[in-house]
Structure 1
Amino acid sequence: MSIAMTQPLYQSSTFGWISIVRLGLVQAAIGAIVVMTTSTLNRIMVVELALPASLPGLLVAIHYFVQVIRPRMGFESDIGAKRTPWIIGGIGLLALGGFGAAIATTLMGVNLIFGIAAAIVAFFLIGIGVSMSGTSLLALLAKGVSDDRRAAAATTVWLMMIFGFALTSGIAGKFLDPYSPEKVILISGIISSIACVLTVLALYKLEGHELENKPISSEKKTPFRKALADILADSDTRKFTIFIFLSMFAFSAQDLILEPFAGIVFKYSLGETTSLSGIQHSGVLTGMLLVAICGSSRLRPYFGSLRSWMIYGCLASAMAMFGLVLAGIVEGAWPLKLNVFVLGLANGAFSIAAIASMMRLAVVGGSGKEGVRIGLWGGAQAIAFGLGGLLGAGASDLARSIFTNPAFAYSSVFFIEAILFIASAYMASQVESKTSSPSGAR
């Protein structure tokens, strides 16, 4: 009998859809600050300040690598009475880092060394703030949402984060033209302030007494290292961590090379490559919504478990990557837009299934360590994203130095990513059915 059938699954139906949307607003606030630093400030450094593109790339990588502290942040929120202070505190640090990054970027135009030093500090704060707020928020969501709503809740929260990306980019873009350093600082400060206020209002009286962690005497408190070691002792936790790392590494490695591939090999213009990125994102959203609908308790028996969506989503992603390999070989005679949409569809399906499974696994066996588990997987995801972006672009540069034909160079990188997705599917298949919804857990 599997572990999932013998261990009780802690779950609560405390959060209804209004509460889930309120948590989604917090996630949107996080997205609003992050997109300003990783997108808008990135463009200003490269275009307006004419700095090397590797500089914002390294700064973004810093904020990912700092998130290795996520398990510790989750542990601290586990042993506290409530997670709300950790979410608000994390948003505060994130807002401070985002505002500091805007000041640092404008400072680069005056004194490059001081500006870079200030930016490094700011991106450290951004990484810490995301770790505190994001880990505690997902742990609270996992604890407060019933099992049959997890896929839909995860989709709702992530769609609201994407909405935060889009809304902030659109509004900030209108007010930033024409560019001036003063505008950048002012708009960043306004966005950070609104995000903080929105977070406080959204979380007001949301975490009730029934979701509070039970107080533990100092003598009985488990040290962080032992708590982490106990969690890693579970084979499913280790396998799921490896799955998260491999799948998100493959997912992120394509981000920085897909548009250059379309421009160099298929001769797409700047507008056409931007449109191609939009096609991929629409596929991701479609995949997320598909899992949210099919992952409901009523339809799950007909469309498969979350574990199945992870496995087949990764395999479909691998097939789409193999399609890009062929696209590089045959070049113009390939339906690139359809291929990219299918890739986004498969990516969205497996990623939202992974997030919902993460929430489910975090509460298996009872409450008390949700934050550490969520932090472990969130840290693995962040490191994968940081490495994926850097190594994906680096691998494409290396391949182009080896192959005279740039199409073959990109195809070789896509081939490696396809293999990583197959390895991810294998690791997902090795995780026991705790990621499914066993009858004994309802």
Structure 2
Amino acid sequence: MTLGWLSIVRLGLVQMCLGAIVVLTTSTLNRLMVVELALPAVLPGLLVALHYGIQITRPNWGFLSDTGGNRTRWIVGGMVALAGGALLAAYGVIVFETRFGAGLAVSVLAYALIGLGVGASGTSLLALLATATAPARRAAAATITWLMMIAGIAITAGVVGAQLDPYSAALLIRIVAVVTVGAVLVTILAIWGIEARVDAAPQPDTMPFLQGMAQVWAERRARNFTLFVFLSMTAYFMQELILEPYAGLVFGFTPGQSTSLSGAQNGGVFIGMVIVGVMATGLRMGSLRAWVTGGCVGSAMMLAVITAMGQIGPGAPLMAAVVGLGFCNGVFAVAAIGSMMALAGQGRQAREGTRMGLWGAAQALAAGFGGLVGAALVDVMRVTAAGDATAFGTVFLIEAALFLAAAAMALRVMDRPAPHHSTLVPGE
């Protein structure tokens, strides 16, 4: 028995909870540290890089979910760890106001927990989707679950942004507590009983982890796709830690307004995913190769527009440009996700979780690397450049160049589809 549409939507609720918690740490808390506490952007950059770096353990989590006989426990346990880490991270921001050393210690522990939670829960969830979804539904399942995750990010960012003004430490803790506790409860209700009803329960296996990883890495498709994921996601995440500070420093946005900007960006991602999902999966228009390259090129163009607006300053339609960037990001991302879901079931059997873990680790390392490099470059450029707009704009243009490089790589790595071939499938 495979997953029905209702069960796929229920798993999408877990993805929504993951996005809702993570956006608090990568946007709201980041903004508070850089603008309200006047800390260097590289500090939250290092913390977010830590949580991404911890996710190098994703292949291990995926292998454990492949061989342990139960994925549900890793999904729920990971969500609990993620929620606890996010709540601790909010407390760390408050401690930073009076004691830098103590705030740093609390934050390091918090972001390590966040990385472990995302790795365990997210990887096991994707493995369950890949193994329990019928091949004909995998692309649609990927689109649905990711749309729900983006919806969780956009809704959380928008609601938190509206509720956070005027900012206070007590208000921050209350908001984060509501989001994290709610996410854990929704996850438990959403996942309960699904694995037991489908033909997806992994068989216990005593193979050592390194041997299992070596088998997957020997697969040419898995290896090439890993390299593409790293490059494209470095470009995707390079602006994550600097867009909200850019809005605050160059355009005069308040904390609530800049958090809402993140929500608007993810709203654009949502729209891009919906359109590609309908056109590619439903109407079978366009190929994976075309959607990925088009999304990368469009993202580069929108970053150039955002850079130009910095020379105008307050009054420029930054919100519209950020929505456009999100739209192009969504076009690229949903095509890559559809390919990932299809590729996960190819190669040696019973290693879907390990492949998902490998690609998740590549994405996490790229996200941490891209976010840290972007924040560090901004700090350097703010010292050496003529002003904040030039400093941030230079980094955005570097990100645009990486998107163009990712588009070129997609053209080389992904084969042209055969005539009348189904869309959103990986090249041979």
TM bin (shorter chain): 0.7 to 0.9
2:107 corresponds, among 109, 112, 119, to 119
Match of 1:205 in 2: 193
Match of 2:412 in 1: 430
Match of 2:231 in 1: 246
Unpaired stretches in structure 1, ≥5 consecutive residues: 1-12
Rounded Cα–Cα distance in structure 2 between residues aligned with 1:97 and 1:427: 36
Match of 1:10 in 2: none
Rounded Cα–Cα distance in structure 2 between residues aligned with 1:34 and 1:245: 20
Tell which deviates more after alignment, 420-429 or 168-177. 168-177
Change (3 A) 1:183 1:209: same
Match of 1:17 in 2: 5
State the secondary structure of the residue aligned to 2:346: coil
Rounded Cα–Cα distance in structure 2 between residues aligned with 1:409 and 1:189: 35
Rounded Cα–Cα distance in structure 1 between residues aligned with 2:367 and 2:416: 26
Match of 2:294 in 1: 312
Rounded Cα–Cα distance in structure 2 between residues aligned with 1:251 and 1:88: 28
Deviation at 1:409, TM superposition (A): 5.1
Are the aligned partners of 1:75 and 1:224 in contact in 2 as well (CA < 8 Å)?
A: yes
Match of 2:49 in 1: 61
Letter in structure 2 aligned against 1:198? V
Match of 1:163 in 2: 151
The answer to whether structure 1 residue 288 and structure 2 residue 276 are counterparts is no
Deviation at 1:30, TM superposition (A): 1.8
Are the aligned partners of 1:152 and 1:293 in contact in 2 as well (CA < 8 Å)?
A: no
1:226 corresponds, among 211, 216, 219, to 211
Change (3 A) 1:200 1:435: farther
Change (3 A) 1:61 1:171: same
Letter in structure 2 aligned against 1:130? V
1:214 corresponds, among 195, 203, 214, to 203
Deviation at 1:286, TM superposition (A): 1.9
The answer to whether structure 1 residue 194 and structure 2 residue 177 are counterparts is no
State the secondary structure of the residue aligned to 1:295: helix
Choose 1 or 2 for highest CA Rg: 1
What TM-score results when the alignment is normalised by the length of structure 2? 0.83
Rounded Cα–Cα distance in structure 2 between residues aligned with 1:365 and 1:60: 33
Rounded Cα–Cα distance in structure 2 between residues aligned with 1:286 and 1:72: 33
Q: How does 1:260-409 map to 2 (within 5 A)?
A: 268-270=251-253, 280-296=265-281, 298-300=282-284, 303-323=285-305, 340-365=322-347, 367-399=349-381, 401=383, 403-404=385-386
Unpaired stretches in structure 2, ≥5 consecutive residues: none
Rounded Cα–Cα distance in structure 1 between residues aligned with 2:355 and 2:2: 21
Q: When the two structures are aligned, how many residues end up with a matched partner?
A: 419
Letter in structure 1 aligned against 2:376? G
Deviations 1:29-49 (A, max 9, x none): 222332333344445545665
